Amino acid sequence: MPGLSSPWQLEPFVVAPAAVAAVCFFQGFVRLRRRGRADHASWARSALFTLGLSAAVLPLVSPLDELGDRFLLSAHMLQHVLIGDAAPALLLLSLRGPLFFFVVPEPLLRVLGRAAWLRRAAAWLVRPPVALLAWAGAYGGWHVPVAYDFAARHQSVHDLEHASFVVAGLLVWNLLVDPARHGRLSRGKRLAIVAALFAMGTVISDVLIFSLQPLYPAYASEAHRVFGLSPLRDQQLAGLVMAVEQLATLGTCAALLLLPELRRRRRARLAVARQPA
């Protein structure tokens, strides 16, 4: 079946950054463990990192890439949410704590530490309104049919599209996961970011699910229908993929933010109730 039987393509644009990230993680992981802090560099962290890196790389080098590029909008959407949402969330989760600084090689960390302009730029980028706007711009902008079709026709623009999803994902998940443990955002503010992301994502997924006609001419005009999916059904499926993926990632994030605190408060209430009058 065309698309599914496409060969794997080891694109340098994808493989090279992934290899650099893997090397950085490995040296940071080893350095931290050698210092006797295996608690901050557990094997669970390496599993999370591997999972995150796989979520970033596999959708771009596997047959899913061809399937999404040429045949199915739903496959393309799956690719986008994996590289732009699941991968950043998992990668940042794997780095949470001291490991976040150890993965940056020491000489580079020193250079970065001295570059005040870079620190200022980074501080500006990770401000919640900036990160949220970047996310809204990337997802909202690229899913406008004209932009989507233009990107599909031009490989360099397509690469830029994917890169913008990854960057936007890293920016917003940095706020939610707080890998450097700055603790700048309270639980409520992070929940507000979860809600804002979900609301923005819902607008896009609902447009795809509820549209009564195909919105992307490139997919609608494709004669070969993989899995027998009509263009409209494929589009609805794409919206569903986005909605379900967001429910899974943001829902898990909200649960992780809420449940420990609710348990803690419940224990505190019970302790007060047990105290003799």
Partner 1 sequence: MTGQYRFSYEPLFLGLVLVAALLYLVAARRQRPGAGRAATFTLGLLLVVVPVNSPLETLSAHYLLLMHLLQNALIADWGPPLVILGLTPEMRRRVAAAGGRPLGALTRPAVALPLWLVVWYGVHVPVFYDWALRDGWPLQLEHLLLVAAGFVFWWPIFAVPRRIEPLGVLAYLGIGFITTPWLSLAYVFSSRAFYSFYATAPRLWGISAVRDQNLAGILMNGEQTSIFFIAFGWQLLRVLAEEEEEQRRRDTAYFEGGR
227 lies in the site for partner 1, by CB under 8 A: no
186 lies in the site for partner 1, by CB under 8 A: yes
165 with 84: CB under 8 angstroms?
yes
Q: Kindly tell me which of 166 and 197 has the beta carbon lying closer to partner 1.
A: 197
Among 12, 188, 228, 276, binds partner 1 (CB under 8 A): 188
Among 163, 192, 200, 220, binds partner 1 (CB under 8 A): 192
Q: Kindly tell me which of 52 and 201 has the beta carbon lying closer to partner 1.
A: 201
One-letter amino acid at 220 equals: A
Distance (Å) of CA 37 to CA 96, 104, 106, 188: 14, 17, 17, 31
Question: Which residues have a Cβ under 8 Å from the Cβ of 221 and sit 6 or more positions away?
Answer: none
The closest of 146, 275, 255, 245 to 190, measured between CA atoms, is 255
39 lies in the site for partner 1, by CB under 8 A: no
Name the one range near partner 1 by CB under 8 A: 44-52, 82-90, 121-129, 191-199: 191-199
209 lies in the site for partner 1, by CB under 8 A: yes
Q: Kindly tell me which of 117 and 210 has the beta carbon lying closer to partner 1.
A: 210
Question: Which residues have a Cβ under 8 Å from the Cβ of 36 and sit 6 or more positions away?
Answer: none
Among 189, 207, 267, 268, binds partner 1 (CB under 8 A): 189
Least CB distance from residue 195 to partner 1, whole Å?
A: 6
200 lies in the site for partner 1, by CB under 8 A: no
Q: Kindly tell me which of 167 and 191 has the beta carbon lying closer to partner 1.
A: 191
- What are the φ and ψ backbone dihedral angles of 5, each rounded to 5 degrees? -95, 15
Least CB distance from residue 43 to partner 1, whole Å?
A: 31
Angle formed by the axes of helices 187-210 and 231-274, nearest 10°: 160
Least CB distance from residue 189 to partner 1, whole Å?
A: 7
One-letter amino acid at 114 equals: R
195 lies in the site for partner 1, by CB under 8 A: yes
Of residues 69-108, which lie at the interface with partner 1 (CB under 8 A)? none
Of residues 231-270, which lie at the interface with partner 1 (CB under 8 A)? 233, 236, 240, 247, 251, 254-255, 258-259, 261-262, 265
Count of Cβ atoms closer than 10 Å to residue 115 Cβ: 12
Q: Can you list the alpha helix ranges (DSSP code H) found in the chain? A: 12-34, 43-61, 63-66, 73-81, 87-95, 99-102, 106-114, 116-125, 128-142, 145-153, 155-177, 187-210, 217-220, 231-274
Give residues in contact with partner 1 (CB under 8 A). 186-189, 191-192, 195, 199, 202, 206, 209-210, 233, 236, 240, 247, 251, 254-255, 258-259, 261-262, 265
